[in-house]
Amino acid sequence: MKHLQQKIIAFRDARNWRQFHNPKDLAISLTLEAGELLENFQWKTSEEAVQANFENIKDELADVVIYALLLSHE
């Protein structure tokens, strides 16, 4: 997990995005991405949601993990 966090930090720093990554904004972004993840499941059974939205679920979950790792680094 530490290795993944280091790769994410290096990606961020290479783009000079650190200025935008303070705890408040990272927490907001994490919450927004979690909401986007939840939208995939709204009004569906788990099976229906995964069948219909598997790729998007993976993408949104990755966003949540990335923001969690960034936030835990700060």
The pLDDT score that the predictor gives to residue 74 is: 76
The pLDDT score that the predictor gives to residue 31 is: 99
Where in the sequence is the domain holding 42, given as residue range(s)? 2-73
CATH code of the domain in which 9 resides = 1.10.287.1080
The pLDDT score that the predictor gives to residue 43 is: 97
Write down the residue that tokens 């949601």 correspond to: 49
Q: What pTM did the predictor assign?
A: 0.91
Instruction: Give the CA distances from residue 28 to residues 13, 24, 43, 46, 50, in Å, rounded to whole numbers and listed in that order.
Output: 20, 6, 25, 26, 25
The pLDDT score that the predictor gives to residue 23 is: 97
- Provide the residue-wise pLDDT of the chain in tens; the chain has 74 residues: 999 999 999 999 999 999 999 999 999 999 999 999 999 999 999 999 999 999 999 999 999 999 999 999 97
- 13: tokens are 């720093």
Number of separate domains in the chain? 1
